[in-house]
Chain A
Amino acid sequence: MAKADQKKTRLIIRTIVLLLLVSAVVYTIASKDKVRVLAVGDKAPDFELVDLEGNKQRLSDYKGEGVFLNFWGTWCGPCKKEMPYMENQHIAFEEKGVNILAVNIAESNLKVETFIEQYGLTFPIVIDKDKSVKEAYNIVPLPTTFLINKDGRIEKIITREMSEKEIISLMESIQP
């Protein structure tokens, strides 16, 4: 009987050791991609930036509502294309508890103001002057959009241009 027990223990120990080693390898492979430090399901890092009207915009102020967080630049072609769609959907979703917040990466006020005027944008736009929010969100390509649900968790990360249809369905997905 003692022998059978011993065998069982050995099997369990070996299984545990092998599982540990396999998970170490899997973890290493998974974590090599530094860009993916923020993942779906993570809490979206809070930040505080001032918009062009001088109001402080804190991500945590939107708790309980969905946030469509868009990182963009005036020089980036795809960003320009999706801006009018975002403006349309901002108006459509404002009352439904989904907010658009657009973060410009370290450009001048003049550039951003001119852009807002040109496109007639009414949603809040903030400028990340020292690139700290860009750093916190690991933004590499522009545009990058984070869909943040009412609990402040990331529902989806989009790292390309979106069509208006896509924007609608994405905004619906974070409607509280």
Chain B
Amino acid sequence: MSKIKCQCGHDNPFGTVLCERCGRPQTEEAKESKLVDMRYEGAARRSQTYKRSIIDKIWNFFSSVKIGISIIVAVLATAAIGTIFPQKMYVAASTEAEFAAYYERLYGLAGTIYYKLGFHDMYNSWWFITLVGMLGTSIIIASVDRVIPLYKSLKKQRTKRHPSFMKKQRIYGEGPSEDPEAALIKAEEKLKELRYNVKIENGALLAEKNRFSRWGPYVNHLGLIIFLFGILLRGIPGFYVDETMWIREGETRSIPGAEGYYLESKQFIMENYTKEEADEVFGDALERVGMIAKNYQTDVALYKTPEGGLPGSDEMDFVKDYSIIVNKPLKFDGYNVFQMDFRLDELKSMTFQLTEKATESSLGEFTVDLTNPEREYELDSGARVILSDYYPDYDGVKDGEPISKSPIPNNPAFIFKMVTQAKPEGEMSFVAIKQTLETEVNDYKVKFVSAETRDISGLTVRKDKTLYLLLLGGIIFMIGVSQGAYWNHRRIWIQKGSNGELLVAGHTNKNWFSLKKELDQVKDVANLPSYEDRQDKESILQDKEVDKV
């Protein structure tokens, strides 16, 4: 039962529709139908063996086109659902509770359900990745299962087919011929002129052109697989980096995702168009909105740790200076650093004055660097101010202790100890913005004078080694599409019947009109019997009308 024996004596594998050797129909369905399904040349799909092991069953599952299409539909549907509300990465929240609150606040019950089902992180969810993986599996297995038998049967196809194969082709005609041998030779000549590959054997002729068009879908699938593989590679360290970094003017920071590289921000520049320079182009717009950005730029210096250098060590080699402008990234070692964002005017330093409360007289000024404050400030008058403690992001007092909620100087507060000639033991004062607290009434106070700010650049660090692979996948995909779409695999069979008549049959995978046009030319030259297209009712009718006339 595992082999199907044809009348011609050939053993065909299980699942064969048309005999590999002579083309006789092998299944009941094929025997009964008027036309034969030529899709895979009637060859057995490789998966259609006896269902034996679990592996074979899984293989069969993925080999099915129905399953493949269901998977595609599922991927499309889930991918579409993922676009209904913003994905997690575009939401300004960090804890799960914050995410839940965000979706509930903005989208109500639908948002809560969306969040609970995990749709807010759709493209990273294990089941979405599994679906895409199943799609890849289906593409590979379904293709392999079809392309190999198809290739084999096209490769070993016979010139002479059994009349029953011919009769079941969509294009078929038979009729008496005065000189079949001469007809075959004339047909051969004409077909060659039409650029067919022609073979004649035992009074049978097979003309074939553009067989490679049949490989189009498989080339296309190969492109898809390469594309998916490229995306898979992104998960491997070193292939794909997409990080953001915030860097303040004057800071040196290690570049996330690019180990051993450091960036120093020298300055951030933001320029707007002035009325004078852009009146002609932006005049109206400038009047309307007041400001049009001309340039966002971060001037940086790139450093690299020497060979074998360790993170944290201050040994760094200068690589280059560069001005990162929008769309002009800093490039090094496969990385691109883009200007993406900015924040203006973060506090950098504050200048204070020590004054005597009674007389309002100044004992001198001092400046506190908010990222790297000093312990002690000597004033011109000989007085000293000691910075006992410092809270960059002051957020009230908890358990009797001032709290800083972050290391960023958003709301700086200081505990100063003022040592003056009059009070050599020093007076303590807590100074925050618009607030001064004293444990006992002091004679002196620290008065805010001015503040300096600096800008922060938001940069994106990118590296994508898979880009060329994705491009290659895309190109192969398109080659496959055009291969299958713009060329057609055409075949024409002509053979002598047992009573000296001629049988003509034709097949193409698409564009039957052109096949018929070519066949008509051959018919006229070689006096072939007229044929009919048995799927095109109109042409049958026309032929009949012509007969009547």
Q: Is the CB of B254 within 8 A of A48?
A: no
Q: Is the CB of A31 within 8 A of B235?
A: yes
Selected A-B contacts with CB under 8 Å, 24 pairs: A7-B52, A11-B55, A14-B56, A18-B59, A18-B137, A25-B133, A25-B134, A27-B232, A28-B129, A28-B232, A31-B235, A32-B124, A45-B311, A74-B404, A74-B407, A75-B405, A108-B371, A108-B390, A109-B372, A110-B372, A110-B373, A111-B390, A130-B254, A136-B311
Q: Is the CB of B312 within 8 A of A133?
A: yes
A residues within 8 A CB of B374?
Answer: 110
Task: Report the nearest B residue to A118, measured CB to CB.
Answer: B389
User: Could you tell me the distance in whole angstroms from the C-beta of B142 to the nearest C-beta in chain A?
Assistant: 13
User: Could you tell me the distance in whole angstroms from the C-beta of A70 to the nearest C-beta in chain B?
Assistant: 15
User: Could you tell me the distance in whole angstroms from the C-beta of A20 to the nearest C-beta in chain B?
Assistant: 10
Residues on B lying within 8 angstroms of A by beta carbon are 52-53, 55-56, 58-59, 124, 126, 129-130, 133-134, 136-137, 140-141, 232, 235-237, 252-254, 256, 259, 262, 310-314, 371-375, 387-390, 392-393, 403-407
Q: Is the CB of A21 within 8 A of B136?
A: yes
Q: Is the CB of B390 within 8 A of A132?
A: no
Interface size classification for chain A: 35 or more
A26 to B56, CA, bound (A): 21
> 6 shortest A-B CB distances, which residue pairs?
A25-B133, A132-B254, A31-B235, A132-B311, A48-B313, A49-B312
Q: Is the CB of B55 within 8 A of A47?
A: no
User: Could you tell me the distance in whole angstroms from the C-beta of A147 to the nearest C-beta in chain B?
Assistant: 19
Task: Report the nearest A residue to B124, measured CB to CB.
Answer: A32
Task: Report the nearest B residue to A73, measured CB to CB.
Answer: B407
B residues within 8 A CB of A106?
Answer: 407
Name B133's contact: one of A21, A48, A77 (CB within 8 Å): A21
Q: Is the CB of B312 within 8 A of A110?
A: no
A19 to B160, CA, bound (A): 43
A110 to B388, CA, bound (A): 9
Q: Is the CB of B55 within 8 A of A15?
A: yes
Name B56's contact: one of A11, A28, A105, A126 (CB within 8 Å): A11
Interface centre among B52, B129, B140, B252, by most chain A C-beta atoms within 10 angstroms, is B129
Interface string of A40-66 (1 = CB under 8 A from B): 000001111110000000100000000
Q: Is A92's CB within 8 Å of the partner chain B?
A: no
Q: Is A91's CB within 8 Å of the partner chain B?
A: no
Q: Is the CB of B235 within 8 A of A32?
A: yes
Q: Is the CB of A48 within 8 A of B310?
A: yes
Q: Is the CB of A135 within 8 A of B311?
A: yes
Q: Is the CB of A25 within 8 A of B58?
A: no
A74 to B391, CA, bound (A): 10
A130 to B259, CA, bound (A): 12
B residues within 8 A CB of A131?
Answer: 253-254
